[in-house]
Homo-oligomer: A and B are copies of this chain.
Amino acid sequence: MGRVSLTEADLQQAIDTFEAFLREKRLKMTDQRRQMVRAVLEKRGHFTADDLYRKLSGSGEPVSMATVYRGLALLEESELLEGHDFADGQRRYERALDREHHDHMICVDCRAVIEFTNERIEKLQEQAATQHGFTLDDHSLTLFVKCNELRDNGNCERREAKLARQNA
C-alpha cells in the first residue's frame, strides 16, 4: 500500500517537488517549509494543523502556528497534501503525493478513519454531474459507519480501525 519507511531520497524528492512549485509561484523555500515537508511525510494517516504544530514543536526546530497554517495551504495547493472536512470542526490533511485517490469511512463511535475506493461509485458520480449539465471538478464522499464488533461488543478494535489510528 504505502512505503514502509521514509528514506532520505524520498524526503529530498518531496522537497524538490515543493520547491519547484514554490519557484513557479515566485515563493521561497525556507527552513520552516522544509521541516513541514519532512514532518508531513512522516505522518501515516490524517492529521490536523495542531497535530503538525505539536509534532514540530517537539522537534528541535519549532514552527509557529501561523506558519503552519500558511504552509499547509501551500502544501495542499502543490498537491503534496490533500485536505478534508470531516464535519468535526477541524480540517484534516493527508499525504497525497504518490498516493491513489480514495474515499473515507469514519466510525461514528471511535472516529477511526478507514480508506476505501470504489470505481463504480466514481463512474456514477461522473455520470451524475454530466447528466445535470455540469463538469465534475472534485468530490467528497464520507461514509459514517459502525463497526459490527463495536455494536455487538462495545469495542472497536478491528484491524483496519487500529491501523487507521496509527497516525505517527
Task: Specify which chain B residues have a CB less than 8 angstroms from the CB of A85 in the assembled complex.
Answer: 85, 87
B-contacting residues, A113-141, CB 8 Å? 114, 116, 118, 120-121, 124-125, 128-129, 132-141
A145 touches B135 (CB 8 A): yes
Interface size class of A (residues with CB under 8 A): 35 or more
A132 touches B144 (CB 8 A): no
Interface status of A111 (Cβ within 8 A of chain B)? no
Return the contact of A132 from the options B105, B125, B135, B139 (Cβ within 8 A): B105
CA distance A145 to B137 in the complex (A): 5
Q: Which 4 pairs show the lowest CB-CB distances between chains A and B?
A: A134-B145, A85-B87, A138-B144, A135-B146
| 21 cross-chain CB contacts under 8 A | A87-B140, A105-B128, A108-B138, A114-B134, A116-B128, A118-B124, A118-B128, A125-B143, A128-B143, A129-B143, A129-B145, A132-B160, A133-B158, A133-B160, A134-B146, A134-B147, A134-B148, A135-B145, A136-B144, A139-B144, A141-B141
